[in-house]
Amino acid sequence: MDTTLQDPLVGQLLDGRYRVQARIAAGGMATVYRAVDTRLDRVLALKVMHPTLATDQAFVERFIREAKSVARLSHPNVVGVFDQGADGTYVYLAMEYVAGCTLRDVLRERGALQPRAALDILEPILAALGAAHRAGLVHRDMKPENVLIGDDGRVKVADFGLVRTVDTHTTSTGAILGTVSYLAPEQIDSGTADARVDVYACGVVLYEMLTGGKPHTGGSAAQVLYQHLHEDVPPPSQAVPGLAGQLDELVALATARDPQQRPQDAVAMLSRSQAVRAGLTDEQLDAVPPQAKAVADGAGSERTDVLPRPGGVQLPLPGATGEAELNRTSRLEVPPADAAPPTDRTTRLRRASAPAPRGGLLQRRRFATIVAAVLLLLGVGTGVWYINSGQFTTVPAVLDMPQSKAEKTLRDEGLGVKVSRGYSANVQRGHVMATDPANGKRIRGNGTVTLTVSRGPEIVSIPDLSGTPVADAKRRLRDLGLTPGTETRGFSDEVARGSVIRTDPAAGSKRRPDTAVALTISRGAEVEMPDVVGDDRADAQETLREAGLRVKFAAAPVHSEEDKGTIARQSTAEGESLGEGETVTLTVSKGPEMITVPDVTGKDVEDARRELRALGFAVEVKKPLLFPQDTVDSQSVEAGEQAPKGDTITIRLKGAL
């Protein structure tokens, strides 16, 4: 039956702009439609949250977070987000439309892929995630359902709905948000989710592409979680004999249970993948997978679930029940039924492997049945999974408390604390405006409470800081959520030195928090620097003090033309402007440097000139009126006497007169 006919949005104009053409897919939180942007006349995909969830602020914020996060990325392997908005009860994202199929479709139809095809898909995935990681984002829900393969062969990563910043922990009070088959051990055990959880998921996806099945399988989500925590991902060659050992090493590297042993992010993982590819022969890259592994072995779609967290408890092996629990789908970005046929590259990807018998799955089921029977005989029972056992408490009331007091209150109750920030026109900046879980809600005794601390109102009025000491002005800006910006200095007869003259933006301007506010700071009244060089030390000091300036003397006197004890230099030149109260450094003279004059009589005039100049003297040459010679006859200062460095020595040349 065509469910599109029953969808009330099909044929409607959403938000006055998007003409909904057909429903593509439906999931647990949203439905995806093919639509036309009537303003730009382009086909796109609309992801519309179910109206029943639109009243849940947490879901709406997650929807908007996805839009903002992905909109920050501009990468050819990321499904772009064009717009986000709401129309009545419909909250939507407008996204890039990709005609083609998902990687899950390929794996479901063909099973294992040739290594070359697997790497051809893996590397664009890593490139997309690498762009996200370098932008400070973590996807957290990488799986084949979120990998789109376009009819033109392009590979794109979709559904950043669980995206978080790199330094964010994902603890959800005893719950795990994600898809069980691709969760990294640290996500299950502690809720930690940095870039390496995406690397782990990519390693699982690579294993699945190389073998046609998931590395960890079981009859329940709990059984799979247990294997993630306690069992290494097996080498792909164990399921597909003949695969190159380098591929086993690549999978092992990405899926190391200790996150410290994995590449730090997708960029580093991409580099390792490219190095492995370069080291493989064409025969190894194009090896056809044998028909030995069941395609149905864990190849069904999985949905993103909220699952109870083990909380670090050592978990027993669960029973093998409820296999369908792992195979429910929430895939949203899938091609429409009338999509164009795949290109050659897509065909090659789909033909890279073939279906295989189901013997392996039957053997595993038989083994699981035996294990369940043994547990039953031991009185343990099957299908029982006490992950959430333990002591519970309720979230204490900390609303409107200062952040430090709220954190202490929670920690005194044995609870962990995580802090986020938001705008509020009603709650004072630095005080708690919300908690997750909310006040009074049930929480595990060692759980974590997220405090949302107010940043103050979303729009802030720039305060009038004129005449305010600069330290107080900066503190006041920070209290309002503004950022002290660049500082410049200016003269003012009215504003005391070290206080603010004006701000930019000007006082009264409306700005968002974190806006940088530049400060012009007073140097005091303008003072013109007098000339005190050559003055007696005491006289120079008095002159500057009368001008409103402070005086500092250099540590050591220097030789100069000025008399000993007078001022040889001043740090600010005569006529330059200073602020009242600023400091001028004066250097005292110890008189000129005295140099012993050499005997240059009888020497060639040029040799004599060079010798005297080398000692720092100026040289004047006097020539006779008749028949001058080039030999020095006499010198104005006798040889052996001392003269001030820089003085002029006169030399006379020999001649008739």
Residue 638 lies in a domain: yes
Residue 382 lies in a domain: no
Residue 568 structural domain: 526-588
pLDDT band at 657 (very low <50, low <70, confident <90, very high): low
pLDDT, mean over the chain: 80
Q: Would you say the pTM of this structure is higher than 0.85?
A: no
pLDDT band at 554 (very low <50, low <70, confident <90, very high): very high
pLDDT band at 384 (very low <50, low <70, confident <90, very high): very low
Size of the chain in residues: 657
Residue 306 CA from chain centroid, whole number:
27
The contacts of residue 610 (CB under 8 Å, 6+ apart) are none
Which of 97, 115, 131 is the C-terminal boundary of a domain? 97
Closest CA to 145 of 97, 105, 184, 112: 105
Q: Is the pLDDT of residue 385 over 60?
A: no
pLDDT band at 545 (very low <50, low <70, confident <90, very high): very high
pLDDT band at 357 (very low <50, low <70, confident <90, very high): very low
Instruction: Indicate whether 167 and 242 sit together in one domain.
Output: yes
Instruction: Indicate whether 599 and 583 sit together in one domain.
Output: no
Q: Supply the pLDDT for residue 226.
A: 87
Which of 433, 454, 475 is the C-terminal boundary of a domain? 454
Is 141 among the residues known to form the active site? yes
More reliable by pLDDT, 380 or 619: 619
Instruction: Indicate whether 229 and 156 sit together in one domain.
Output: yes
The contacts of residue 653 (CB under 8 Å, 6+ apart) are 605, 621, 622, 623, 624, 628, 629, 630, 631, 632, 633
Cβ(243)–Cβ(236) under 8 Å? Answer: yes
Closest CA to 129 of 140, 117, 120: 140
More reliable by pLDDT, 241 or 179: 241
Instruction: Indicate whether 86 and 201 sit together in one domain.
Output: no
pLDDT band at 424 (very low <50, low <70, confident <90, very high): confident
Instruction: Indicate whether 118 and 162 sit together in one domain.
Output: yes
pLDDT band at 203 (very low <50, low <70, confident <90, very high): very high
How do 90-96 and 81-87 pair as beta strands? antiparallel
Cis peptide, bond prior to residue 336, ω within 30 of zero: no
Q: Supply the pLDDT for residue 28.
A: 66
Question: DSSP class of residue 5?
Answer: G
pLDDT band at 187 (very low <50, low <70, confident <90, very high): confident
Q: Is the pLDDT of residue 511 over 80?
A: yes
Q: Is the pLDDT of residue 338 over 50?
A: no
Instruction: Indicate whether 223 and 156 sit together in one domain.
Output: yes
The contacts of residue 542 (CB under 8 Å, 6+ apart) are none
CATH of the domain at 516: 3.30.10.20
Give the tens place of pLDDT for each residue, 41-66: 899 999 998 888 777 777 787 777 76
CATH of the domain at 46: 3.30.200.20
Cβ(650)–Cβ(622) under 8 Å? Answer: yes
H/E run at residue 648: strand 648-653
Count of CB atoms situated within 10 Å of the CB of 448: 20
Q: For residues 519-529, give the mean pLDDT.
A: 93
Which of 522, 541, 575 is the C-terminal boundary of a domain? 522
Instruction: Indicate whether 292 and 241 sit together in one domain.
Output: yes
Q: Is the pLDDT of residue 485 over 60?
A: yes
The contacts of residue 46 (CB under 8 Å, 6+ apart) are 14, 18, 20, 32, 33, 34, 35, 92, 93, 94, 95
Q: Is the pLDDT of residue 417 over 80?
A: yes
Residue 644 lies in a domain: yes
Evaluated on CA atoms 279, 283, 288, 289, the torsion sign reads negative
pLDDT band at 479 (very low <50, low <70, confident <90, very high): confident
Token pair 């006499």 in the structure block, residue = 634
Q: What percent of the chain has pLDDT over 70?
A: 80
Instruction: Indicate whether 47 and 150 sit together in one domain.
Output: no
Token pair 């002005």 in the structure block, residue = 473
pLDDT band at 570 (very low <50, low <70, confident <90, very high): very high
Q: Which of 6-20, 80-94, 177-191, 384-398 has the lowest mean pLDDT?
A: 384-398
Q: For residues 250-268, give the mean pLDDT.
A: 95
Strand locations in 475-558 (E): 483-490, 500-504, 510-511, 516-522, 526-528, 550-553
Residue 611 CA from chain centroid, whole number:
67
The span from the CA of 24 to the CA of 32, in Å, is 5
Instruction: Indicate whether 299 and 433 sit together in one domain.
Output: no
More reliable by pLDDT, 466 or 74: 466
Instruction: Indicate whether 344 and 259 sit together in one domain.
Output: yes
Q: For residues 644-652, give the mean pLDDT.
A: 91
Residue 153 lies in a domain: yes
Residue 381 lies in a domain: no
Q: For residues 596-612, give the mean pLDDT.
A: 94
Q: Is the pLDDT of residue 313 over 80?
A: no
Q: Supply the pLDDT for residue 656.
A: 54
Q: What percent of the chain has pLDDT over 90?
A: 49
Q: Supply the pLDDT for residue 389.
A: 31
pLDDT band at 368 (very low <50, low <70, confident <90, very high): very low
Q: Supply the pLDDT for residue 66.
A: 67
Q: Is the pLDDT of residue 561 over 80?
A: yes
More reliable by pLDDT, 247 or 227: 247
Q: Is the pLDDT of residue 219 over 70?
A: yes
Q: For residues 609-621, give the mean pLDDT.
A: 94
More reliable by pLDDT, 71 or 499: 499
Cβ(229)–Cβ(307) under 8 Å? Answer: no
Closest CA to 636 of 587, 607, 599: 599
Instruction: Indicate whether 262 and 230 sit together in one domain.
Output: yes
Instruction: Indicate whether 345 and 410 sit together in one domain.
Output: no
Q: How many domains does the chain have?
A: 6
Which one of 141, 198, 248, 265 is the catalytic residue? Answer: 141
Buried b (16+ CB within 10 A) or exposed e, 172-208: bbbbbbbbbbbbbbbbbbbbbbbbbbbbbbbbbbbbb
Q: For residues 321-337, give the mean pLDDT.
A: 30
Residue 384 lies in a domain: no
Residue 240 lies in a domain: yes
pLDDT band at 394 (very low <50, low <70, confident <90, very high): confident
Q: For residues 428-457, give the mean pLDDT.
A: 87
Q: Is the pLDDT of residue 360 over 80?
A: no
Reported as half-sphere exposure (CB side, CA atoms, 13 A), residue 499 has a value of: 15
Q: For residues 170-191, give the mean pLDDT.
A: 67
Question: DSSP class of residue 180?
Answer: G
Q: Supply the pLDDT for residue 137.
A: 87
Residue 387 lies in a domain: no
More reliable by pLDDT, 387 or 5: 5
